Amino acid sequence: MNVPPPGVHDADVDRLFASSGPLGQAVGGFRPRQAQTEMAKAIAEAIAQQRTLIAEAGTGTGKTFAYLVPALLWGGKVIVSTGTKNLQDQLFLRDIPTVRKALSAPVSIALLKGRANYVCHFHLERTLQNGRMTSREDVGYLREISRFMKTTSSGDKAELSMVPETAPIWNLVTSTRDTCMGAECQYYQDCFVMKARKEAQQADVVVVNHHLFFADVALKDTGVAELLPSANTVIFDEAHQLPEVATLFFGNTVSTSQILELCRDVLAEGLSHARDGADWGQVVLPVEKAARDLRLAFPQDVVRLSVNQIAPSSIFFPALETMRSQLHGMIAVLEKQAERAETIEQCRTRAVELGYKLDGWNSTPIAGGGKKAGKAVVADEGEGSVLWVEAFSSSLQLHQTPLSIAPIFNKQREGVARSWIFTSATLAVKNDFQHYAAQMGLGDEPAQSWPSPFDYGQQGLLYVPQNLPQPNSPDYTDAVIDAALPVIEASGGRAFLLCTTIRAVNRAAERLRAEFEARHLDFPLMVQGEAGRTELLDRFRAAGNAVLIGSQSFWEGVDVRGEALSLVIIDKLPFSPPDDPVLAARIEALESKGMNGFMHHQLPAAIINLKQGAGRLIRDESDRGVLMICDPRLISKGYGRRIWQSLPPFKRTRELDAVQAFWRGDAVAE
């Protein structure tokens, strides 16, 4: 392989990002930024040398253009993976076409989503003929979808804004891996999933999201598996989300609700296609009972326990054994009847896969398939993983979660030489990438950071109020609201209150509603859960003086520029809950290697999360605002210094007067 010399594209990058260059001429408001140009050079070099780069770019650097320009010009076949479907649409519909046009780059682009995003001809037809609609609303939505199918070329449900993304009707008109007929389907030639995959195969640049990428690595069912071998460049934007997403997909989860759903389908398909083959009611009844009994092994409403926290005498273990054995019995019946209908064969396949997942909790193999099939499902045969249960009000989930995704992800990166770019605004802790690199198995790969162009010292103020109780005290949220109220008044609303738990969101909402009324404060209050995220944000921007209370989903990926958001209040440092079985197992594994679980894992993870929340405040060169962190540990604990040194370099204060002076535009002394 002939590797070009370092800096081979530097002069081109300088020309392209200059004010007189093609981007300056084509993109309104474009201004050269040194950090953006330097980042583009580093990515161009990583692409040319076919190597890995971890690239942290502060808010406002313009990282999207910094990776798209080299990718479109020199990246060959490129896969861009981003954090959410919204960002995926933004890249595909806006950012990539803008850069492609500015550079006159002759590249084709394709968008690839998971199969649940595309309307399925077969399932739509079936639902129109015999769908059991649960509401009048669904009947109207189905009519809209049917009309949409006559005009759409992509079948992507994102194009049909009249039907909410969360509407239950979508489950009846889309396919899953289990319910897809594949090449046997009469509509195979027109299938939108196949069409999207074919376009992705032929395109130069393919936009996917992290969930799709890792679902594919784990299940080989999303079309990415066919793309990877030919890709020269893989770019992960919002790469800080990868450890969590990958953990989700490289683990296994089996739930009692999946088993009950399978029973419903077995009963329906058995009665439709093989009524004389078995007493289908009696086939599913013992399996349903076993699933419900398994949930009842934990009388509490919500439970999270690792397997070694469950008492050996617990009825959970015999209930699990009964569940396996009853599922085994149902598989035996399905084996005999499977050839009578494709849909019964699909039920058999699903039952066998659920059996393999239960095998993650049992060593004895289940009937109906060889060990080989199980390996696709079981991530690592129980080695280096934690087994834990999670109970909800009406279902129980059994999880098998890998302690580290590094070895699994490294396996994906072996083989063909290509460049891997990992970029985000939050990958480092005080310019140290060790935590992220260790999580992803990126060891000694080069990592660089480019600072934000914003003048944080002038634009923002970090305020840590005095005299707050410890975060674990029962009245902590009330104390946060007491401290926040005068600041919210001084800012004229225009605030996000970011909480670490849903319970805190609900308590804060209750208190603020009452306080605003008592004090005659006319600030519209928006609370996570009362409407969808996009709708809440639109209302927040439009109001201009609103207060929005949210938990984790508002800590990142939210962009509110200008005066509408001038205050971000964070109730607590975002440490993972101490009762998390996966966290406990990871800490134990680190400590067995002589490392400190808190300093090497919990603290860096909390800092990266906090940087995301803090990043909501200053989104533009003209933004001004206050970041209020209420947690007294930021000051009282030795590690507090490491935390605030990782945040943007705001001026800092503990005085309410200084915050009020900041709003008045007076100079603030530290």
Q: Is residue 442 predicted with pLDDT exceeding 80?
A: yes
pLDDT at 220: 60
**Burial profile 437-458: b = 16 or more Cβ within 10 angstroms, e = fewer:** bbbbbbeebebbbbbbbbebee
Q: What is the mean pLDDT of residues 568-575?
A: 95
pLDDT at 212: 87
State the pLDDT confidence band at 670, using cuts at 50, 70 and 90: low
In one-letter notation, the amino acid at residue 466 is: Q
* Token code pair at residue 599: 């300093």
The conformation of residue 177, written as its DSSP 8-state character, comes to: T
Q: How far apart are CA 576 and CA 556, in angstroms?
A: 16
Q: What is the mean pLDDT of residues 500-525?
A: 94
Region of residue 492 (left: phi > 0; alpha: psi -120 to 50; beta: else): left
- For residues 257 and 274, the answer to whether their CB atoms sit within 8 Å is no
Beta bridge partner(s), residue 234: 79, 420
Q: Is residue 513 predicted with pLDDT exceeding 60?
A: yes
- For residues 422 and 55, the answer to whether their CB atoms sit within 8 Å is yes
Q: Rounded to whole angstroms, what are the CA distances from 162 to 148, 524, 528? A: 10, 26, 22
pTM of the model: 0.86
State the pLDDT confidence band at 191, using cuts at 50, 70 and 90: very high
Q: How far apart are CA 643 and CA 611, in angstroms?
A: 9
pLDDT at 519: 94
Q: Is residue 223 predicted with pLDDT exceeding 80?
A: no
Pairing of strands 651-653, 625-629: unpaired
φ, ψ for residue 343, nearest 5 deg: -70, -30
Q: What is the mean pLDDT of residues 140-163?
A: 91
